[in-house]
Amino acid sequence: MDHRYDVELVKVTKRYGTTVAVDGISLRIPQSSYCCLLGPSGCGKTSTLRMIAGHEAISEGDILIHDVNVSDLPPARRGTAMMFQSYALFPHLNCLDNVAFSMKMRGVSKKERHAKAREYLALVHMSDYALRLPAQLSGGQQQRIALARALVTRPRVLLLDEPLSALDPFLRVRMREELKRLQRELGISFIHVTHSQEEALALADLMVVMEDGHIRQSGTPRTVFEEPASAFIARFIGGHNVLPWQSGMIAVRADHCTLGADGDGPRLTGRVAAVEYQGPVVRVAVTTDDGVEAAALMADHDFYRSPVGPGDVATLSWAVASARTLVQ
């Protein structure tokens, strides 16, 4: 049977007493997608993930996985696997037995479960560590074992709760690449909760931005970044100036702004508040006399042709076509 959507949420609500954590959200996750749920703390993204997993009961609405309503099914019968932020490996079991554990619980023979576990250790490039204990592994290696243990159950959907937050920045980028590779190779949907805009932009086929228990915008990362639906989205995704303009608000990408007042396009003038050298680019923050804050993200060679410093008067300009009118 051809499933157009791996996961479908239909008007899903989660209440904790009188608090509404998730408020009637609907979402369709297409087949074999990498979906990132993104938003500030308390927006409802983790509650949504836990409801899909079956670790939280739904107050109202339905969850379908491969067209089957799983709303009342226990976690083990949903076809999902969850990878927790803490990895939750068994400290007394070696990597091979950690990965094989779910098969041991199902009564699979030792030979068979070890053979299958070795397959999944190879998939996450951890074959050489099969006999080590979790305490003998780095954080990144522990994460690979936790991934193999989740994937060995052959889930239809893998759920990941902030899986990269404990890693250092260099390792985070490496593991991002690894997660994307695994999702493509396995051809199943990953649903990944994160508060990192950079992570979601890098990984997602479908990016879902939440606030106050609502989905505020969903789409490809490029669409969400280039066409933010509101001032909240533009501010949260970052990389935009959100400015009062005429009788409304506009968003202008910082990398579409430049210093100087060439031509007769839109501009604002203020004083340089900060200059940040970021390697290939330099970020120049400008504050106007009436407190409007904006920034230009310029190629380093453009900035150093006529550099400015904190306190200097500076004019920030952009093309009319670069401004997007926002719903507030």
Mean pLDDT for all residues in the chain: 92
Instruction: Report, as an integer, the average pLDDT of 168-181.
Output: 89
Give the three-class secondary structure for 256.
Answer: helix
Phi, then psi, of 202 in degrees rounded to 5 = -75, -35
Cβ atoms within 10 Å, residue 261: 13
Say whether pLDDT at 2 is over 70: no
Say whether pLDDT at 4 is over 90: no
pTM over 0.85: yes
- Name the band, by pLDDT with cuts 50, 70 and 90, for residue 23: very high
pLDDT for the residue numbered 165: 84
Say whether pLDDT at 35 is over 70: yes
Say whether pLDDT at 295 is over 70: yes
Q: How far is the C-alpha of 300 from the C-alpha of 306, rounded, in Å?
A: 11
pLDDT for the residue numbered 284: 97
Burial of 46 (0-12, 13-18, 19+ CB in 10 A): buried
The per-residue pLDDT for range 93-105, each reduced to its tens digit, is 999 999 999 888 8
The per-residue pLDDT for range 46-98, each reduced to its tens digit, is 999 999 999 999 999 999 999 999 999 999 899 999 987 777 889 999 999 99
The per-residue pLDDT for range 112-153, each reduced to its tens digit, is 999 999 999 999 999 999 999 999 998 889 989 999 999 998
Q: How far is the C-alpha of 161 from the C-alpha of 37, rounded, in Å?
A: 10
Q: How far is the C-alpha of 74 from the C-alpha of 80, rounded, in Å?
A: 10
Contact 83, 161 (CB under 8 A): yes
Cβ atoms within 10 Å, residue 276: 11
* Secondary-structure class of domain 5-226 per CATH: alpha beta
Of 10-24, 66-80, 249-263, 310-324, the one with minimum mean pLDDT is: 249-263
* Secondary-structure class of domain 242-326 per CATH: mainly beta
pLDDT for the residue numbered 30: 96
The per-residue pLDDT for range 5-16, each reduced to its tens digit, is 999 999 999 999
Domains 5-226 and 242-326 share a fold: no
pLDDT for the residue numbered 227: 93
Burial of 286 (0-12, 13-18, 19+ CB in 10 A): buried
Cβ atoms within 10 Å, residue 87: 20
pLDDT for the residue numbered 328: 65
The per-residue pLDDT for range 198-255, each reduced to its tens digit, is 999 999 999 999 999 999 999 999 999 999 999 999 999 999 999 998 889 999 999 9
